[in-house]
Amino acid sequence: MFNRLWRYVSAALVASLVIGRAAHAITPETAPVTIPHGGIVERQPLKADYGLAEAGAQFSIRYSSIDGVDGIEAREDTGAVFLPKGPTPQGGWPVVVWAHGTVGIASACAPSLNVRSPRDIQYLDTWLSLGFAVVAPDYAGLGSRGLHHYLNSRAEAYSVLDSLLAARSVFPLQNRVVLIGQSQGAHAAFAAAGYQPQYAPDVKIIATILTGTPYFNAQTSAGKLFSSQPDPGAPDPKIPYAMYMFLSAADRDPSLNPAKYFSPQALPVLREAHTLCIDTLTDRSTAAGLNAGNSMQPDIQKLLDSQTPSLRYPTLRIQHPVFIGMGSEDNDVPLIMQQAFARDVTKAGTKTLVRVYQGLDHDATVNPSLRDTVPFLLQLMSTKKGARAQ
């Protein structure tokens, strides 16, 4: 999940999301055709402890992809595939591609290498029980080589799409796909929907389903986001995310000196950000009393702002229906940010269904949203099936 990143977003930043309603679109780059991607490299049974109760068979996979950070380097990434119980239907299983929330940036934090949260287990088991296979990418750098560039939209999208292509090449899966994501995963799923026409044009996406969606429009400043703090004396849970952004920048430019951007008090925690998963890292940062005032040097704002373009979506105009769910009590990704996203996506010409879940927060929205997303998706599948039969 996106955790507590947005809890202390400044009033000025939130206001800018209301003022800056114009859709921000970046033309998606066409993936280099000379680089193979979306092929299966390895598959093996998934460790039972990391599995799902409703799965009839479950596998870990390694697949070929393209580094979405630079857009040119071949790489291999990992994920998991869960098949429903029972006989395979004619033509294969319809597919849910599950884009997970924040886990950290260390390879060992990959969901396929860990027990999933009770929330996610309940959610994914529901889709399996309805007869959907689940393809669950880890994202580049999680379970695979290199650093996970947190919230890099193209890197997330390539991981999501290539995991699907690879899974379809070896498992009995239909070319009827729904992209689903929560929090960081919503960011990944929507980015994948934007890149799909150019990067994986043969994939037939029925719908994209999102809850708790982060949105970086042209007015969003990562520098302001991470340096704002209502209570200057209290530990700030945004600090680990600022560290993730710095580490992404430093991965591309190793000459960056951490001491220029973080205080001596923060540097020990920064070093741990490479290896600790998000919950433990946040606890470590809080125990050290880190906040914007005592951990960040003045130069950090400019560096963080330089990372913001890589967080934006390639387009807001999607060629299939998009469900956007949000909790009225979401403090992790504020309701006003999600409302701005829904408004801009709809204004861009995307067919949307928007639901606000009263009294529910960021995590609590996920499973209750099924009461809307299941009929939403089944209706779309029925309509498309009927259209093909005519």
Final residue of a domain: which of 294, 309, 324? 309
Whether residue 20 is predicted with pLDDT greater than 60 in this model: the reply is no
Q: 220: pLDDT confidence band, cut at 50, 70 and 90?
A: confident
Contact by Cβ (8 Å): 35, 8 = no
pLDDT at position 315, please? Answer: 98
Q: Are residues 372 and 283 in the same domain?
A: no
Range of the domain at 61: 40-217+313-381
Burial of 5 (0-12, 13-18, 19+ CB in 10 A): buried
Q: Are residues 55 and 158 in the same domain?
A: yes
pLDDT at position 267, please? Answer: 98
The side-by-side arrangement of strands in the sheet containing 173-182 is 40-45, 55-66, 74-84, 133-137, 93-99, 173-182, 205-211, 322-327, 352-357
Q: Are residues 148 and 198 in the same domain?
A: yes
Q: Are residues 264 and 171 in the same domain?
A: no
Q: 337: pLDDT confidence band, cut at 50, 70 and 90?
A: confident
pLDDT at position 340, please? Answer: 94
Contact by Cβ (8 Å): 97, 164 = yes
pLDDT at position 237, please? Answer: 84
Find the helix or strand (DSSP H, E) in which 117 lies. Answer: none
pLDDT at position 331, please? Answer: 80
Q: 120: pLDDT confidence band, cut at 50, 70 and 90?
A: very high
Number of domains in the chain: 2
Whether residue 332 is predicted with pLDDT greater than 70 in this model: the reply is yes
Cα–Cα dist 77/260, whole Å: 33
Q: Are residues 52 and 148 in the same domain?
A: yes
Final residue of a domain: which of 274, 291, 309? 309
Tokens of 87: 């006989």
Cα–Cα dist 327/333, whole Å: 9
Q: Are residues 226 and 320 in the same domain?
A: no
Cα–Cα dist 298/386, whole Å: 60
Cα–Cα dist 66/54, whole Å: 32
Whether residue 33 is predicted with pLDDT greater than 50 in this model: the reply is no
160-204: pLDDT as tens digits: 999 999 999 999 999 999 999 999 999 999 999 999 999 999 999
Overall average pLDDT of the 9-31 stretch: 39
91-103: pLDDT as tens digits: 999 999 999 999 9
Q: Are residues 260 and 304 in the same domain?
A: yes
Q: Are residues 101 and 143 in the same domain?
A: yes
Overall average pLDDT of the 50-70 stretch: 97
